[in-house]
Amino acid sequence: MAPVMNFRWTMRRLNNWGLSRRKLRGGFLHSRFGDRLLERQIWVPTRDSLAVAFLIGLPVTMIPFLPLQSLAACALAFWLRGNLPVTFFLQFLSTPATAIVHLPLCYLVGKLVLGADLAAEWERVWADPMGVVSRGSLGALYLGAVVLGPLTGVAGYLLTKFFWREKPIRGAGAGGVPGAPPEAEKKAA
């Protein structure tokens, strides 16, 4: 029976390969990038690091034909303390398999921003979805990507912040002060 690939299995496998904080400390990458490389929030998803990963990863993945987009997205995520694995995997949303949906959507949004007739453009895209690349309409394609990228990034950021609630602080008594007696909390309510 094959082992179940979950987060714990993945972290154990990375530790076996030498990608643990203990093994990276003092190494080549640590000497180049400093202690930020070893921060837990960059590798383990937290509410804030996951939200920043969506805020960075989705706009970069929307830009079509961007060479080295994974490297650019991960550099931004490293700088802004976003989650690196999530940012990296978000770049795989713009593959040749998803281009059939991704590129026409960017093209249509770009044409809509430029003021074109959406019904006529919809018929043209529906007849030939990948024709948006060959028609000399890269301006509308990139304009749509520039509009859709930040919109989807902000939507991912806000949805992460909305659905992932922070855990309450343990031992917080009255007014959220740790160590306050529970009676004071009842009186405050």
Residue whose C-alpha is closest to residue 33's, from 70, 69, 68, 84: 84
pLDDT confidence of residue 43: 81
Residue 48 lies inside a defined structural domain of this protein: yes
Q: What percent of the chain lies above the pLDDT cut of 70?
A: 72
pLDDT in tens, 1-30: 556 666 677 777 777 777 666 666 677 666
Residue 27 lies inside a defined structural domain of this protein: no
Domain count, the chain: 1
Residue 132 lies inside a defined structural domain of this protein: yes
**pTM of structure:** 0.70
pLDDT in tens, 53-104: 999 999 999 988 778 888 999 899 988 989 988 999 999 888 888 888 888 8
Residue 32: exposure state from Cβ atoms within 10 A (0-12, 13-18, ≥19)? exposed
Contact 90, 73 (CB under 8 A): yes
Total residue length of the chain: 189
Contact 145, 106 (CB under 8 A): yes
Residue 146 lies inside a defined structural domain of this protein: yes
Residue 23 lies inside a defined structural domain of this protein: no
Parent domain of 63: 32-165
Residue 125 lies inside a defined structural domain of this protein: yes
The mean pLDDT of the chain is 80
Residue 123 lies inside a defined structural domain of this protein: yes
Residue 66 lies inside a defined structural domain of this protein: yes
